[in-house]
Structure 1
């Protein structure tokens, strides 16, 4: 019989996995021209009582946080330690937000020491198409390719937006103003670590039934999959009926995680739709007695020369002949492309209380050809909002025995809508050669640079480098009081 598991709020805190807490030390060097000469990471990760995702999270965090920079000398020492705390596991960003907080802080400090703007310093050192991406021995990262490249555009877009005039906010002399940015790249799941199947068939009414194994989590994949199929079949989205995450009808899908909904399941959908489109051309050519090469799909029909056969007519004739017009597609997620994201903040910090107000939030993303700009913009805004929760408010307090002290929302502060600023979102103008219809993944990546960018803005405003999130007033106040007094 079906079983439903319902956890209490306290059980949600202790029986589900958390993000990996990390202690990170970064060493970075550059020459007088502002070119990086060395990057070194020393990482200690708390994997909790069980080694859930310990190694792959470390690999992802270390490889991609410094892999986005071109540097001749890189070294990583990383260890995951068992402790008596709640087990750590897979969480949005998969280790990158923790590593970026440290790496992007070091990049900013180095730029400041050299007297170079944070934007220009990054421009001189980010990877470019053709540059090797970090591939530690045995990592399997050899299948990560530049499907498209828009990181330079993202930097330019954020810089222009941050330089644009901001509506004036009346603030007293107690408030300090600072700007900060951070950038990141991210790929999808490990090589051949994900399999997605899709199947699509022609209905009697000339519409289509698309079956995919992946699930919709509010990220818009159900719409995007229909858009991909509709584009390949020269029809409209309303003509695509979607069945998803139904084990009785769909093929296999490893799961809706690892930024695979569009990039992997979308590729399977595109393959299935293109296979069916080819079958429709061939079937129409037999009816019209023409060369399949002369047939093309157009406005819910196949046009062969001067003859036009509607999809509904094709379905009717196929049924009469005992034929089913259906096709399948599969994707393993290999090879993989990388998405790029840049976040910028302007903040005000009250030196007397430690309160932070976000005056401006800007995010630019290289998402390839964006299938649904409104949904993708919402995905990015949601990623920034969720990350701000971890950056400014959320803190799981653990006692000496490894117990969670605050497993209630009255003690664990989640941001409300009023706490979240408006984020300006920009897209780089790229078309990815590996993704479905030129699209890239954009599920986890918006989350990743947020804490690092806000940390850099905090340092710019106060002249103090705060090294641990969340940046709560009670954590900031002692150092602010020491520097600025009461």
Structure 2
């Protein structure tokens, strides 16, 4: 489960104009307004949804779950209403990840190249079809586009059951796919007697390769006849730098794997490649508006939703770069259906790429207006060569005028007008980020306990607009993925009722239990992204589980095809191996 520190919470009230205001912890404020209106019998214009700073989402707040209840109670009572889910309710009444069983069948020629892949998915969507189609199609997309094979087949069955409702969760079907795919590819390499990393690198997609299954499994409105082609990939560099950071040669050293002084311990290193997507092509849209203030500062209004990801900072940086001012001169206000432009919401690793491009386009329009005004003030016949930097507009002759003076001139002195612009953006592309995920583990062969010592992820996210927040995204994603692969498990009784809906019985990593983590950002220049950026938010969720499986295999020779790798599961696999050997 996503387990955001802040659960679902919504506060509703009537404002002085008898309009319903919903302050809610959501990733999709505009969708919430659109959906609650008919449920409450109110017109859209009578509803205002505000998303304040919230404590995490990770997909679980991508739907309208409690806002309609709050709205009904406000209407019925005429009083302000506050509804907050308990932790147990968050587990069983919000959303979880779709459980899946995945079967691969792959053909390989005599040169070690894939010739065909068949992927069969059986997915559990609980009692409702929430994201039941699209999560599974993304599973197929990620599971059949990471490696080249001329012949591919995807079969999927989605079953209704009585477990808590699955829905959107960071990675959106890709973590399930990559666990099965990377495990399967490593097993093929071992069966062929070749190095797994070399076998994978021979077959993974590279620059210029088409993503041939994308038109069949996409969910946007982009032209299905257009075949996406990879234009940028730093995967080879990610793997090289990750191998160095994890000291990969120990992988082949029996003395390191089995320390003499600790006979009950086995060490292992594991690897998984990752490829994800950036937004939903032809579907995700972000809007932005920018205006100048009297002192040369700027208001940037965006519908994009900051969930603690730092997107407000990144979008402000993009505007500041275009307008030639420091970030402190950019005032970002986001996620208010009354005040900000429309945005589809914070999901699908789209905010920097989609909303960032909208901000960049709006800032470029504002920049042209500033340059024109600077030309008027400096008496330039041609203002096209004016450059904005250091809070000033510089003419080609070395003369300059401050942005504050330009603002005052345009607002108060001559040919007055408000310098401002709006822009929106929908992308026809979804450029994939790439990553190499490495893990180091120790396995206690007497108890089955797996101790994760170190995680390294080298990521190609294009140009990281803010390397600090990008690295934070990767660290946070690896932390969630570590729980997914190692210890987090929803336990049900025979009737589908969750038995461990609380932290503790539901085990998530504590800060003092975390392994060493290292993040490496490998830069490529994505031509379709703002300043060369691609996504970074979800790809960290994809590779940890298969890298752990790979490391456990390296340490013990045991293949475990079910997660999480709890002590019981590992112990049983170790003893089954011993029984087979004897």
What is the CA distance between 1:347 and its match in structure 2? Answer: 1.1
- TM-score of the pair, normalised by structure 2: 0.80
Distance 1:419 1:335 in 2: 40
What is the CA distance between 1:132 and its match in structure 2? Answer: 1.0
Q: Where does 1:58-457 land on structure 2 (aligned, <5 Å)?
A: 58-133=136-211, 134-137=213-216, 139=218, 142=226, 144-163=228-247, 172-290=262-380, 291-306=382-397, 307-320=399-412, 321-457=415-551
Tell me the residue number matched to 1:33: 111
Distance 1:121 1:20 in 2: 30
Q: How many residues align?
A: 485
Point out the more displaced range, 92-101 or 156-165.
156-165
What is the CA distance between 1:350 and its match in structure 2? Answer: 0.8
Tell me the residue number matched to 2:72: none
- TM-score of the pair, normalised by structure 1: 0.95
Distance 1:245 1:188 in 2: 21
Point out the more displaced range, 266-275 or 293-302.
293-302
Q: Per-residue displacement from partner, 1:343-397 (whole Å, max 9, x unpaired)?
A: 0112111111001112332111001111111221111011001111111111111
Instruction: Give the conservation status (yes or no) of the 8 Å contact 1:65–1:185.
Output: no
1:59 match: secondary structure: helix
Instruction: Give the conservation status (yes or no) of the 8 Å contact 1:145–1:335.
Output: no
What is the CA distance between 1:143 and its match in structure 2? Answer: 6.9
What is the CA distance between 1:22 and its match in structure 2? Answer: 0.2
Distance 1:147 1:278 in 2: 30
2:338 match: secondary structure: coil
Gaps spanning 5+ residues in structure 2: where?
1-12, 14-21, 23-80, 251-255
Q: Per-residue displacement from partner, 1:178-204 (whole Å, max 9, x unpaired)?
A: 221111211133222221111111111
Q: Per-residue displacement from partner, 1:93-147 (whole Å, max 9, x unpaired)?
A: 0011111111101110111122222221121111112211122536356474535
Tell me the residue number matched to 2:577: 483
What is the CA distance between 1:248 and its match in structure 2? Answer: 2.8
Distance 1:206 1:250 in 2: 21
1:43 match: secondary structure: strand
Tell me the residue number matched to 2:568: 474
1:243 match: secondary structure: strand
What is the CA distance between 1:284 and its match in structure 2? Answer: 1.6
Tell me the residue number matched to 2:134: 56
Instruction: Give the conservation status (yes or no) of the 8 Å contact 1:187–1:336.
Output: yes
What is the CA distance between 1:206 and its match in structure 2? Answer: 1.1
What is the CA distance between 1:170 and its match in structure 2? Answer: 8.8
Instruction: Give the conservation status (yes or no) of the 8 Å contact 2:265–2:445.
Output: yes
Distance 2:151 2:467 in 1: 39
Instruction: Give the conservation status (yes or no) of the 8 Å contact 1:143–1:334.
Output: no
Instruction: Give the conservation status (yes or no) of the 8 Å contact 1:351–1:484.
Output: no
2:83 match: secondary structure: coil
Distance 1:187 1:352 in 2: 41
1:187 match: secondary structure: coil
Point out the more displaced range, 177-186 or 377-386.
177-186
2:531 match: secondary structure: helix
Point out the more displaced range, 157-166 or 38-47.
157-166
Instruction: Give the conservation status (yes or no) of the 8 Å contact 1:144–1:187.
Output: no
Distance 1:217 1:61 in 2: 24
Gaps spanning 5+ residues in structure 1: where?
none
Large movers: runs of 4+ above 6 Å: none
Point out the more displaced range, 290-299 or 56-65.
290-299
Instruction: Give the conservation status (yes or no) of the 8 Å contact 2:179–2:542.
Output: no
What is the CA distance between 1:404 and its match in structure 2? Answer: 1.2
